[in-house]
Amino acid sequence: MMVGIPGAKELPLPHKTPGVVANVVRGCLGNLVEWYDWFVYASFSIYFAASFFPEGNQTAQLLSTAVVFAVGFLMRPLGGWLLGLYADRFGRRAALTLSVTLMSLGSLAIALTPGYSSIGILAPVILVVARLAQGLSVGGEFGSSATYLSEIATPRRRGFYSSFQYVSITVGQLSALLVMIVMQSLLTEAQMYAWGWRIPFVLGAIAGLVVMYLRRSMVESEHFRRASAAGSPPGGLRVLLREHRRQVLAVLGLAIGGTVAFYTFTSYLQKYMVNTAGIPKPTASLIGFAALFLFIFMQPVAGALSDRWGRRPVMFGFSVGGMLLTVPIMTLVGRTGNPWIAFLLMLTAMVFLSGYTALSAIIKAEMFPTNVRALGVGLPHALATAVFGGLSEPIALALKQAGHESVFFWWVTGCIGLTFVATLVVREPSRGSSLEVGEVPARDSVVGGHVLSTVRCVRLLPNSGDRDPTAPSRDARR
């Protein structure tokens, strides 16, 4: 049983390559700022926890900031839903501008809020509201960004261009880490606790406002403009769940394994090196930074390979590699104290992980028609991230505490197995992709257990506006 949108005899959209790179850069810059702001909170929470919560036990203060972080994480599905609807109704550019604005306002609020000693309970209340806004923002950013990058890219290079979404995510993560390293070297610990922690949030807010301005000048995607001109209404949640259930389940399956693997190998693995392998914290941080830096360059390579070979072979490379190598890699990292071996093992994990991250945007976007694409990509991905991605580290630590740490390795393997199953049932998205046709989705019908998409194709003719090519010509009507 294959899930997808057949592309028989659809008319290709005309594409203009000039400006594609500039618009991809604008889209990725916003993604970078969003993830910088997201990781800054986690990185600097040890310094600002005492400012927002009553004096007392430091562990209790850190736990409070962690709970606020989790609340923001759980807001991501709501953001995927609301901003996905917004993107499908008002345009990708409008949704991307709104998402980075919400993130910037959240960062600015955190940076400027007085401490608990000054305004009392209002301090943690403002912190919670700011994180709610940022959770909505980052939840909606993925679907809107993935949709925009996939739609704006030139044919036969969609995998390459859309792979830069995770380039920007990783650069945002590295930027937050780099700012922390620089500030720790320039300021004393007392200064960091007193006011230094506010600086990275101010930087994030300023960067977000700059990107907001840049995004307002982005070109709206041709797919959205044509669907709007043809009068195709936005689908909404009811249409998505009624007519594209199989695609939604496929995105969930793809995202579960990929998200769990991403958080395991890019975030938790550094803590695992310290807690289990006994590698010193500064060394583990350096290993993680170096591996993440090289991970950036793997994205466009994997994306370009998917343009040549297809999405499914590359995604199979991730899922099969993940199922076979996760347990050996995690076991070996836990038993070695050699930093070089740990680095090579982490790098190996990231090689097969790039098979998912580089394709995460395009393989999902190609499953949906224009009127529900942002919602169809954003909502199930945000659900998988909030539930499975957010629980990865707590599950790992709980199993370690219980003395069954190796069970976590198999849990990650099982989640990646769901991605393998989803890849099996997904129709090759790059062939007959809805992104390669000027389609206006009418409805999906289920025939004999298979999803068949019924579409009406339109093409923009020179100086004639949007016109249905199947309609009789003016001469024929005469």
Q: What letter represents residue 1's amino acid?
A: M
DSSP 154: P
- Residue 478 burial by CB count (10 A; 0-12/13-18/19+): exposed, middle or buried? exposed
Q: Which residue has the higher pLDDT, 278 or 323?
A: 323
pLDDT for res 312: 92
Mean pLDDT of the chain: 81
- pTM equals 0.79
Shared domain for 258 and 201, answered yes or no, is no
Q: Which residue has the higher pLDDT, 1 or 368?
A: 368
What backbone torsions phi and psi does residue 446 show, to the nearest 5 degrees? -105, 115
157 to 15, 147, 162: CA distances (angstroms): 12, 15, 9
Kindly tell me if the per-residue pLDDT of 330 is higher than 90. yes
Shared domain for 127 and 194, answered yes or no, is yes
Tokens coding 187: 């300021």
Non-local CB neighbours of 296 within 8 Å, separated by 6+ positions: 167, 170, 171, 174
Which of 218, 248, 264 terminates a domain? The answer is 218
Tell me the residue length of the chain: 478
pLDDT for res 262: 92
* Structural domain span for residue 263: 1-6+236-478
Output b/e per residue, 218-243; b: 16+ Cβ within 10 A: bbbbbbbbbbbebebebbbeebbeeb
Shared domain for 300 and 151, answered yes or no, is no
**Distance (Å, rounded) from C-alpha 75 to C-alpha 211?**
23
Reported as a single tens digit per residue, the pLDDT across 97-143 is 888 888 889 999 999 999 888 888 888 888 888 888 888 888 888 88
CB 426, CB 244: distance < 8 Å: no
> Is 11 a domain residue?
no
> Is 65 a domain residue?
yes
Shared domain for 290 and 313, answered yes or no, is yes
- Residue 447 burial by CB count (10 A; 0-12/13-18/19+): exposed, middle or buried? exposed
**Distance (Å, rounded) from C-alpha 429 to C-alpha 125?**
45
The total number of structural domains that make up the chain: 2
**Number of Cβ within a 10 Å radius of residue 177:** 18
Shared domain for 316 and 251, answered yes or no, is yes
Which residue has tokens 């499908």? 88
Shared domain for 201 and 258, answered yes or no, is no
